[in-house]
Structure 1
Amino acid sequence: MSLCFHVYFSNQKDSGKIEFLGKGMDRFLSYPLRTTSHVERLRKQVKKNHHILLIGYLGGGTSLLGDILGTRNTSFYLYEPLHYMARFGYFKPGYQCSMKTGNCWKNNQTSDQAIRTVQAIFNCDYDHYNHTVQWWQVRLSGAAGKVNDRNWNISSSRCNRTCLMKYLKLCSHYDSIVSKIPRVSVSLASQLLNKFSNLNIIHLLRDPRAIMNSRNKYDWTPVPGGAIALCNKMADDFLESVKLKRVYPGRFYTVFYEDMVTDPFETFKYIYTFAGYNFNADEQLRINKKTRNSQNIAWGWRNIIDHNVLKETNKACSHLYSLLGYPQVRNIEEIRNRSFPLRLKTGSQEDQWQEDIKDDKQSTERNRKKRRGEKCVGEGVLMGGDGIRCISHFSTFKSVSQ
């Protein structure tokens, strides 16, 4: 693997004098540098953190992803703000739909109210939505770690409106606002992309059989109606996402729960890049702790899923499996067999989209390097006021952009 080391000199007059740095390169790169034209250009290239709207499905892993993105030191997080409007329902343009039956009925008023509430969240307009938020939602938003008041208690329903507002008023103090909202369709959420230039959407997908197994434990949306509703929404959301990626390139990203828990490092590296977050060592350690047992959960549902839940979900969702790359396991014996992977990754439409995204990023990086004259291959590069010099690899380094 080739690495490039960008060293910006603190004194342009001495830029032609390069001292031998040896093993101290990583320490040198971590020193604070005085402002130079190179550093100023670097700062302009650094992306601003994006606001993130996380769309997914009850039992689909949004709590894990929302917690990781939302409880960062520079994120403000709000957990499921539309819960009060429809516990087992969701909204799409002009309609409200049931998660239990899949039936939808025309209701412009509630879908408009839902999108106005979400818009208020990303505007930090807590006066508009604070009456809808309950104490448990604020607790699950990680508020306890962000309200600097030792007497503040969010652990019970005794936390009144004044108590809740201590957290909600912090919204504007954070670089990135994150909200997980499994009660809106992708088509409804897309209306916000024109309203917020700094808003990106993440769509989290998971095997619908795993989702229905999770819901079955709580008797949330029983089969067959719950499975029909789930997979109809997943299909609609996916097809809408295909269009959005064309219309809003770089602002919509699809994540698979299975990838997130079996290969968290690689998956979150792309998620953090998409969100404009710094994927540093502290964040990697935090993610590792939060996903430590997730791989067992990712496989665990296959050992306990009810026969009828599997049968009815397969009936309702078989059309979705090939679209998203999930294996067509037909019975309990096959679902228990680990030779059937969690995802096939054999050319599903979504996998092709992910490859296109990676190719676009790699092409952009190659063009950027070409413009800046970075021609070192298999070597590092020192960039000074007098041009470019290639150097051999060092065992450790720290980028000045981190």
Structure 2
Amino acid sequence: MVHSGKGKTRKSSIYAGNDTSLPRNANANINFSFKVLTNPEILSQTADATFTSKVNGKVKVIIILAYMHTGSTYLGDVLHQLPGSFYEYEPLRSLQQASRYRDAITFMNGSRKQLQRGKAVAYQLAAKAVEHMVTCNHRNLDYGTLLHAFRSISSAEYQDVAPYFRCLRSNSMMLEKRRANHASYNQLPFTNPMSLELPARRKPKGSRNYPMSLTDPNTILSCLPLLESRCRNATVRLTKFIRLSMKATEMLLRAINNMVNVNIIHLVRDPRAMMDSQLRKNDMGVKRFAVFQTRTKYMCSCLRKNLHLFKKLNPMYPNKFYSLRYEDLVDRPLVTFEDLLSFLGLGFGHNMERYVKNSSINYTPARAAVWREHISIEHLRIVDKYCRDLYPVLGYVPLDTLNQVRNLTVQDHIQLP
């Protein structure tokens, strides 16, 4: 039996031969292996601002480790309803963008780091960034992360960080007016202004939602309390990532396991559904067949590596990991969320139950199965080629012909009891 944080137990599952925390698996026959600063005053503010009251015992840190099109936004939205929660949505996106173009990133203390090109954020860099986030030391993050908002700050996902970004936007507008009144940019009345404007081709989606030309580090420092105080005052600190690897999570746990009450939710989905969803939206340009093939290979390689490392980490960090399939969220939302919150040591009250009932209307088994009505045999074969070995590990059923795929009476995943 696997124990939750409040003495409750949950039935273990078979996950590539090892006990894991995949929920509610009572059937033992199912194979779930599932700019540089020189102003001394500014520097002293940043140096002394690493809050030592990291996290007290009452604070719960929840990290969602997911992949593109796995329902992580839905999961994060529900967990955001927890009383006293503070939610940060996809905060590694800026670092990934910088890694893709081998940019140098700059920190508030004036240090710079040159990144190596790659699709994933460097493990150590990602782990350290997440550590600063969950311990509310945001001023130790790089400028790009501090200025970046993936979606509109008026969206529900940015409810908790919106006051900070509005502060940045307001001060940025004032800064632009001040700049317009100076004949020379270098005459601006503050130390070492630094333009963070990115070339148009490198602006991330949603970049219009954050102040691209903000240059005054004092502005960031003046706005940061709006972010860090809300974080420190929260009883639940929630972050969602589709750009965090299990390797970076391992490094993160080494650093914070003794400081915070942390849980990792590993959210997966049928690779066939994941890739078809990307295809329908043409994410990453996957409508080009060669790109679809490369992307499928990459996605399942990441998933495979994460699952392999999960088998090592789960016994090392008992009661830290919760494995979850998107299909279980839509098949039985109330049961699944109640079990998840029990594992997290949090209550599943009436308000949460009502919210799950209302929100689950938009996340149904029929919607989860849309891939079966859309995927072509050519795309199916590509996903099978690179991902088929993961199906039995995660409880998915191989479908060899298009007739089987289209016949919705044929199960594509093993349903949990």
Give the 3-state SS of the residue equivalent to 1:193 in structure 2. helix
Letter in 1 for 2:149: W
Counterpart in the other structure of 2:334: 265
Match of 2:389 among 319, 322, 325: 319
Partners of 1:239 and 1:88 lie apart in 2 by 28
Counterpart in the other structure of 1:179: 239
Gap change, CA 1:228 and 1:326, over 3 Å in 2? same
Counterpart in the other structure of 2:400: 330
Q: How does 1:234-383 map to 2 (within 5 A)?
A: 234-295=303-364, 296-345=366-415
2:268 matches 1:205: yes
Give the 3-state SS of the residue equivalent to 1:292 in structure 2. helix
TM-score, normalized by length of structure 1? 0.64
Q: How does 1:131-210 map to 2 (within 5 A)?
A: 131=143, 132-133=145-146, 134-137=148-151, 139-140=154-155, 142-144=157-159, 157=209, 166-194=226-254, 195-197=256-258, 198-210=261-273
Partners of 1:179 and 1:237 lie apart in 2 by 18
Give the 3-state SS of the residue equivalent to 1:53 in structure 2. strand
Give the 3-state SS of the residue equivalent to 1:340 in structure 2. coil
Cα pair 1:71 1:77 within 8 Å, conserved: no
RMSD over aligned Cα atoms:
3.2
Gap change, CA 1:272 and 1:258, over 3 Å in 2? same
Cα pair 2:89 2:157 within 8 Å, conserved: no
Give the 3-state SS of the residue equivalent to 1:253 in structure 2. strand
Give the superposition deviation at 1:142: 3.3
Partners of 2:137 and 2:283 lie apart in 1 by 35
Q: Deviations over 1:132-188 (max 9, x none)?
A: 142345555634368789x98999736675668634541111011111112122122
2:140 matches 1:119: no
Give the 3-state SS of the residue equivalent to 1:142 in structure 2. helix
Give the 3-state SS of the residue equivalent to 1:201 in structure 2. strand
Runs of 5+ unmatched residues, structure 2:
1-56, 101-114, 170-205, 215-219
Gap change, CA 1:88 and 1:212, over 3 Å in 2? farther
Gap change, CA 1:264 and 1:95, over 3 Å in 2? farther
Q: Deviations over 1:358-388 (max 9, x none)?
A: xxxxxxxxxxxxxxxxxxxxxxxxxxxxxxx
Counterpart in the other structure of 1:8: none
Counterpart in the other structure of 1:52: 62
Gap change, CA 1:307 and 1:125, over 3 Å in 2? same
Runs of 5+ unmatched residues, structure 1:
1-46, 100-106, 346-350, 356-402
Partners of 2:79 and 2:209 lie apart in 1 by 26
Give the 3-state SS of the residue equivalent to 1:85 in structure 2. helix
Letter in 2 for 1:215: Q
Gap change, CA 1:183 and 1:144, over 3 Å in 2? closer
Cα pair 2:90 2:150 within 8 Å, conserved: no
Gap change, CA 1:112 and 1:245, over 3 Å in 2? closer
Gap change, CA 1:213 and 1:186, over 3 Å in 2? same
Larger Rg: 1
Partners of 1:219 and 1:55 lie apart in 2 by 19
Counterpart in the other structure of 2:41: none
Partners of 1:121 and 1:274 lie apart in 2 by 23
Partners of 2:97 and 2:332 lie apart in 1 by 32
Gap change, CA 1:274 and 1:163, over 3 Å in 2? same
What is the count of residue pairs matched by the alignment?
288
Letter in 1 for 2:61: H
2:124 matches 1:63: no
2:233 matches 1:218: no
Gap change, CA 1:152 and 1:188, over 3 Å in 2? closer
Partners of 1:152 and 1:286 lie apart in 2 by 31
Letter in 1 for 2:252: L
Cα pair 2:397 2:413 within 8 Å, conserved: yes
Cα pair 2:87 2:157 within 8 Å, conserved: yes
Give the 3-state SS of the residue equivalent to 2:95 in structure 1. coil
